[in-house]
A and B are shown apart, each in its own frame.
Chain A
Amino acid sequence: MSQSSSLRISGSAMHAAGVLALVLSSFLALAQTPSLTARSIFKPAAVEYLYPEQVTLPAGKATKLALHFRIAPGLHINSHAPSEDELIPTTFSIPEDSGASLEGAVYPPGEEFTLPIDPSTKLSVYTGEFTIQASIKATTGDHLVEAKLRYQACDNNACMPPKTITVAIDVVGK
């Protein structure tokens, strides 16, 4: 067999392999779809952390950070100072041994809110976007801090159980 015919065969072999790869990649992509079914069982989170994802702080010095969150449309969560004792306040925390500590937090004041069915009860809630001013102190180094936000969300007719979400922030102490 000549060198050119060998190259021709090699070329068609590669072509066939390429087509096969395309077909099988499509199959592999399709193979992922049941995970979507599994995810769709769960409702989207009521609260989403927006930003910042990464911050650089002077090591050993408490620094103020504005942490931004968004609440899903149609829902409200209790403010940090709910109107009644039994209601669950929105609380931000940083677990111990994270490489960073929470020295203090200033929460926005709640908006006054009444359920349409009971205008006499005034609630203190957050809706839409809200910002927590957190004072954070970091040690030297790069820390992936998994802070927590605990909240309890409701709409006008029903409430969801309290939930704690992870607020991931890459904190660099320099």
Chain B
Amino acid sequence: MKRNTLVITAVLFILAIFAWAGWANWEYRKQAAERLQASVAQGELTPDPAGGAPQYLSPLQGKPAPEFTLEDLSGKKVSLSDYKGKALLINFWATWCGPCQIETPWLIELRNQYAARGFEIVGISEDDIDRDDAAKLSKEKREIAQFVHKMQVPYPVLIDGDTISKPYGGVDALPSSFFVDRSGTVVSAQMGLTSKDEIERNIKKALGMEK
């Protein structure tokens, strides 16, 4: 009898340790997953009720655009707050992104069309930047500058976008655009190439010309 009690106690004790380890492991993983979800805050594609291309629903929609300060190609620091009072399109792109090359001429046309109404674009390059190697950095900046020159981009292009992509949802796909109204609130977002009309609709939303 005594031996049986000992066996049962030992088995229960071992199982209790397993159970505790399982629970602790589950809690740890749950918290890690929640932290990851919160830090990435990714958006999702939702079907367009009108039957068009899927719409990108960003969790930033209706929220203040995350603040950033980055350098432009001349080394000048540019912040989101520099655009206070303007409607702004924050466009994440890269020199290696084919769809971005198609989109950029549309952005230039629309920027020139709506600039007088208080609209501006800021391009944020997602090209890799190596700040530890001066020669590499210079080459990388030159390549971005060549692209900007080739496309005749009239708006500021900032580098090292990867450092601010997390609060913007990770920017897993390029091009990605965020439309910010005059009060600094994100009113719409796009992921991937859509159409010039779609971009214009979102610019009008940022300018308060369309709901």
A interface, CB within 8 angstroms of B: 1, 6, 9-10, 13-14, 16-17, 20-21, 24, 27-28, 30-35, 37-38, 41, 43, 86-88, 115, 117-118, 121, 123, 152, 154-155, 157-162
Kindly state whether residue B126 has any CB partner on chain A within 8 Å. Answer: yes
A13-B4, A34-B30 given; A158·B12 CB < 8 A = no
Kindly state whether residue B18 has any CB partner on chain A within 8 Å. Answer: yes
Which residues on A sit within 8 Å (CB–CB) of B155?
none
User: Cβ of B15 and Cβ of A21 under 8 Å apart?
Assistant: yes
Return 8 A-B CB contacts under 8 Å, by A number: A17-B11, A20-B15, A41-B33, A86-B95, A86-B96, A117-B99, A154-B97, A158-B174
Min CB distance, B197 to chain A, in Å? 13
User: Cβ of A10 and Cβ of B4 under 8 Å apart?
Assistant: yes
User: Cβ of A43 and Cβ of B99 under 8 Å apart?
Assistant: no
Min CB distance, A122 to chain B, in Å? 11
Min CB distance, B52 to chain A, in Å? 13
User: Cβ of B126 and Cβ of A161 under 8 Å apart?
Assistant: yes
Instruction: Count how many pairs of residues, one from A and one from B, have CB atoms less than 8 Å apart in the complex.
Output: 115
Which residues on B sit within 8 Å (CB–CB) of A33?
26
Residue of A nearest to B29 (CB): A34
Kindly state whether residue B36 has any CB partner on chain A within 8 Å. Answer: yes
User: Cβ of B1 and Cβ of A159 under 8 Å apart?
Assistant: no
Partner of A13, one of B8, B32, B36, B162: B8
CA distance A56 to B152 in the complex (A): 55
Min CB distance, B47 to chain A, in Å? 15
Which residues on B sit within 8 Å (CB–CB) of A86?
95-96, 143, 147
User: Cβ of A20 and Cβ of B97 under 8 Å apart?
Assistant: no
Partner of A160, one of B22, B42, B172: B172
User: Cβ of A38 and Cβ of B32 under 8 Å apart?
Assistant: yes
- Residue with the highest number of chain A CB atoms closer than 10 Å, among B8, B126, B174: B8
| Known contacts A28-B22, A31-B26, A161-B94, then 17 further A-B pairs from the complex at CB < 8 Å, ordered by chain A residue | A6-B4, A9-B4, A13-B4, A33-B26, A37-B30, A41-B40, A86-B95, A87-B98, A117-B102, A117-B193, A157-B193, A157-B194, A158-B99, A158-B173, A158-B175, A160-B174, A162-B96
CA distance A10 to B1 in the complex (A): 8
User: Cβ of A115 and Cβ of B8 under 8 Å apart?
Assistant: no
Which residues on B sit within 8 Å (CB–CB) of A154?
97-99
Within 8 A of A (CB), among B1-58: 1, 3-4, 7-8, 11-12, 15, 18-19, 21-23, 25-26, 29-30, 32-33, 36-37, 40, 42
